[in-house]
Amino acid sequence: MKTSDVAKYLNISIPSFEIESKRSFVARKILEIKTEIFSIANKYGIKSLKEFESLIKKGKIRETSESRDDFYRLDYLESRLGILNKILRTL
């Protein structure tokens, strides 16, 4: 089905449909990232990357290959979340 057909069915302009589609897609990606962040945070009982780093330095979280991977993954996810939030604000 063409974009123009869907827009017509929804009774909105093609540009409005395209913008809403982009917003919806980015919002869904944000939700996926937040879910993964929550999963990692819940695993270690933390609320932020800074807290994770602090607990590792204090020895309250053992530094293992798994915790290191989770730390770097959380760093990446938080960075990506920030970028996607900026994108969403511009749409």
Chain segment 13-67, per-residue pLDDT in tens: 999 999 999 999 999 999 999 999 999 999 999 999 999 999 999 999 999 999 9
| pLDDT score for 44 | 97
CA distance 21 to 7: 11
The amino acid at 13: S
Q: What is the pLDDT confidence band of residue 6, given thresholds at 50, 70 and 90? A: very high
How many residues does the structure list for the chain? 91
Three-state SS letters, the chain? CCHHHHHHHHCCCHHHHHHHHHHHHHHHHHHHHHHHHHHHHHHHCCCCHHHHHHHHHCCCCCCCHHHHHHHHHHHHHHHHHHHHHHHHHHC
The fraction of the chain above a pLDDT of 90, given in percent, is 99
